[in-house]
Amino acid sequence: MNETRKLNIPIINMNVTYSEFKDDESERLYNQITGKIDVLTHAAVCSGLSQLNAVNEGSKKRGDADNDQNQNMYGLTRLGMRMGAKVVAFENAPAAYTKVGEEVVQRLEEITATEGYSTQLFRTNIVLHGIPQSRKRTFIMFIVMVIQVYLIMNIKNIHH
């Protein structure tokens, strides 16, 4: 970790809810980069939508928006928005793009709507991107609504 900091890559240590800092240096780094981030990507732990999750009841039920495993994903998404990132993005299981993931996506949309972001989902197979393995994935992006309008206008101008 000290080698990473020497390279000027911020490592911010926070508690599991991403609301408190573990040390003064982490808080200093957070304050230094907040508001200067264009795209923040995060790697949440496997969500409750993972096909490896075979639990059908309780706090780990697959597809349940309140699933224990989903809290990390929600916390990281909120953190990116609090930091003022123009785009917050992450990769998730293909089920996020299906009826099984509907509750989870609705919860993400609730989080993002209160912060002024729109939600975009893209489903792909990594074999289409040069990796010799068939693996379907869903990419979820949250875009500040002002930027989304600008992007749509520019795309329309390209086609005219």
* In a shared domain, residues 145 and 89: yes
Whole domain around residue 26: which residue ranges? 1-33
pLDDT one digit per residue (tens) for the chain, 160 residues: 556 556 666 677 777 778 788 888 888 888 888 888 899 888 877 677 776 666 666 666 777 888 888 888 898 899 999 999 999 999 888 888 888 889 989 999 999 888 889 898 888 998 998 989 998 888 999 998 776 555 555 555 554 4
pLDDT (0 to 100) of residue 159: 47
* In a shared domain, residues 59 and 12: no
Q: How many domains does the chain have?
A: 2
* In a shared domain, residues 54 and 8: no
* In a shared domain, residues 49 and 18: no
N-terminal to C-terminal alpha carbon distance within the chain: 50
* In a shared domain, residues 17 and 71: no
pLDDT (0 to 100) of residue 85: 93
Beta strands per DSSP E along the chain: 39-41, 87-92, 117-125, 136-144
